[in-house]
Structure 1
Amino acid sequence: MPAEVPVLDLSVSSVELTQQLCDIASVSGDEARIADAIEASLEGLGHLTIVRDGDTVVASTSLGRAQRVIIAGHIDTVPINGNVPTRFEERDGQAMLWGRGTVDMKGGVAVQLKLAAELTDPIVDITWMWYDNEEVASDLNGLGRLARNRPDLFVGDFAILGEPSNAGVEGGCNGTLRVHVSAHGKRSHAARSWVGVNAIHAISPVLATLASYTPREVEVDGLVYREGVNAVGITGGVAGNVIPDLVTVEVNYRFAPSRTGAEALAHLEELFSGFEVVQTDVAEGARPGLDAPIAQDFLAAVGGTPAPKYGWTDVARFSALGVPAVNYGPGDPLLAHADDERVPLAHIEDCERGLRAWLTGPDGR
């Protein structure tokens, strides 16, 4: 017997809607119930055309406006760890909603859903996207799948991703590259180590390079991006009495969007010259996208000073398709995935107010 579809009430405040969404468990790979709930909540709204692709839900207006904006948010979370159901509690004089998904990123999803339902006459056409499997491997990402299946839905002049950004605008994002850096040796009995070559000892210059590395700060289109090159894993060793013949350090490079993935790889190959360097994963960064006139109108409406996004987000997917994109959502990204994940209620309200002001224009229609 199919599970009952949870009911979302889009008439309540965006704060209350955030709690409703967070209390529907939707760990990556298990988003069907929340996708069903989102789809059901939008059915019957005459100004929206609904498309379902797996557990991704798309709702679009077709008002014949001169410009189209894409506004997206992912509906999955990392695993729950005793932090659902959510609760309201004050911290440091701020009213907070605590629990998994409050920051990453159901507060943003709630704002988007409420506005999708209420804005029947926006000044631009809007394509709203709520997608699955953002928190896991890139090849499972619902936004990527949707782009492959329905590229027509990605035609737009500007995109906003509701990732947590402290209710401010964060432009573009760093790229990310992972490589395996390996040293080879020769096995021997540990009692006769002079017969072998210890690969773990041989990798020490790589570790020294990482420990002394000074990451760049790079200005791109007026925003300063901080890079980072770090060891995130190390494997080696055979047994307690064997000199190891292989050791591999996994290195993650977060590179500014002024560099391509190929240029980032070339940098690591130069940095670890003399060692085997094998790329295992790469995701291109995205330039800020703030120079377009529509982006300037958005900034003027929501206010504040834009900042760079240091972590990789799906704005890069839009950027790769030629659609300038920014991050704009409630919550502190430093609390994303934390067991004490919590969002200030004011962040949710501010993001709703900012988006509503921009999408309805100065006349507030």
Structure 2
Amino acid sequence: MVLDLTASAADITRAICDIPSVSGTEGALADEIEQSMRAYPHLEVSRHGNTVVARTSLGLPQRVVIAGHIDTVPINDNVPTRTVQIDGAWHLWGRGTVDMKAGVAVQLKLAAELTAPEADITWMWYDNEEVDEARNGLFLLAKDRPDLFAADFAILGEPSDGRVEGGCNGTMRAVVRTRGVRAHSARSWVGENAIHGAAPILTRLAEYRAREITVEGLGYREGLNAVSIRGGVAGNVIPDLCEVEVNYRFAPSKSVADAEAHVRAAFEGFEVEITDAAAGARPGLDAPIAQRFLAAVGGQAHAKYGWTDVARFSAMGVPAVNYGPGDPHLAHHDEERVPLAQIEAVERGLRAWLTGA
């Protein structure tokens, strides 16, 4: 089967949602996308694992990258898709409708139809976004083909409720440890309870007040939260180790080093190990091409609180935003669904910007 890209973006969304592509199993959908794109002579198509790239080469003075991931979290009785009416509006319900196959469908339709855009376009559809970075198709493509990322501006079709979300927060995970001395719980006084010793860590977290930091006119809300706690040996043993895993979301004005310093200061006096970190991305909306984009889609930019792959573009010197259909609160939800009208609105906005209409 080759996707029918003459269909509406909503129908294309349904078609690609009904091709299961849980992270690690995107091959069938990548095949469909590659075959569909190769039918259009105005596009240069290449395949990198299960990442498909299609480019125009019109010699225009500017180039934009528009990207979307094709994988989903696991299905939970929410495929095949179906159309449902909620509060008088029609939605497409099913896994992947929000995160982020509706955005991918809009991109596929526009890639097929826009033979004379105002800027050259590089379309990217990549795999394994929902899992660890080492498997992320965009990460691997950037390592092997950084030349494909040369652009003046980038858009990631992550669900943003049809709004423009500039940049993204950074993220850091750390383990905060307390150590004690094992003993029989019947003689607890000869030991030292590491779990009890973690109480001040939890107090500091409970008392922490999230800050909102303005970066280039957008307010990024930070957060410091415990996400797991581990400790204990047996039901009759005083534990000698407790580990509290903490996640810090930080404004894109901070570097990873700044974030680490903040976390270590927050838990001064405790053993802290940084286990994972990714810098955020500044909004990058001051460039003329970005301002034209905002004007074309008729939107006001907002901050992106979560981390997304826009940070990869930002790290390569390409300003990037999130712009796609779907309420991000419904991403990964068993009631995942996207309004049909929002799919159409995002398509209209991107088409207007890319064609100057």
TM-score range, shorter chain: over 0.9
Report what 2:101 is aligned to: 106
Report what 1:32 is aligned to: 27
Report what 2:240 is aligned to: 245
SS in 2 for 1:78: coil
SS in 2 for 1:8: coil
Letter of the 1:286 partner, please give it. Answer: A
Letter of the 2:221 partner, please give it. Answer: R
Distance between the aligned counterparts of 1:340 and 1:184, measured in 2? 43
After superposition, the C-alpha distances for 1:272-329 in whole angstroms (9 at most, x for unaligned) are 0111100111111000110111000000100121110101000000000000000000
Report what 1:168 is aligned to: 163
Distance between the aligned counterparts of 1:302 and 1:257, measured in 2? 24
Following TM superposition, by how much is the alpha carbon of 1:7 offset from its aligned partner in structure 2, in angstroms? 2.8
Partner residue of 1:148 out of 143, 159, 171? 143
Partner residue of 2:83 out of 72, 88, 101? 88
Distance between the aligned counterparts of 1:90 and 1:307, measured in 2? 28
Report what 1:3 is aligned to: none
Distance between the aligned counterparts of 2:257 and 2:192, measured in 1? 33
Partner residue of 1:283 out of 278, 281, 291? 278
After superposition, the C-alpha distances for 1:177-200 in whole angstroms (9 at most, x for unaligned) are 000000000001111111100000
Following TM superposition, by how much is the alpha carbon of 1:94 offset from its aligned partner in structure 2, in angstroms? 1.2
Q: Is it true that 1:323 corresponds to 2:341 in the alignment?
A: no
Letter of the 1:246 partner, please give it. Answer: L
Letter of the 2:263 partner, please give it. Answer: L
Distance between the aligned counterparts of 2:39 and 2:192, measured in 1? 71
Q: Identity of aligned pairs, percent? A: 69
Report what 1:158 is aligned to: 153
After superposition, the C-alpha distances for 1:157-204 in whole angstroms (9 at most, x for unaligned) are 000000000111000000000000000000011111111000000010
After superposition, the C-alpha distances for 1:68-105 in whole angstroms (9 at most, x for unaligned) are 00000000000000000000011112110000000000
Of 152-161 and 260-269, the range deviating more from structure 2:
260-269
SS in 2 for 1:36: helix
Distance between the aligned counterparts of 1:112 and 1:31, measured in 2? 17
Following TM superposition, by how much is the alpha carbon of 1:40 offset from its aligned partner in structure 2, in angstroms? 0.6
Following TM superposition, by how much is the alpha carbon of 1:133 offset from its aligned partner in structure 2, in angstroms? 0.2
Distance between the aligned counterparts of 2:92 and 2:39, measured in 1? 30
Show the 5 A alignment for 1:1-365. Answer: 6-361=1-356, 364=357
Distance between the aligned counterparts of 1:189 and 1:23, measured in 2? 56
Runs of 4+ in 1 over 3 A off after TM superposition: none
How many pairs align? Answer: 357
Distance between the aligned counterparts of 1:187 and 1:42, measured in 2? 63
Distance between the aligned counterparts of 1:118 and 1:304, measured in 2? 24
Distance between the aligned counterparts of 1:169 and 1:109, measured in 2? 16
Q: Give the TM-score normalised by the residue count of structure 1.
A: 0.97
Distance between the aligned counterparts of 1:73 and 1:353, measured in 2? 17
SS in 2 for 1:76: coil
Structure 2: stretches of 5+ with no match in the other structure: none
Letter of the 2:71 partner, please give it. Answer: D
Q: Give the TM-score normalised by the residue count of structure 2.
A: 0.99
SS in 1 for 2:91: strand
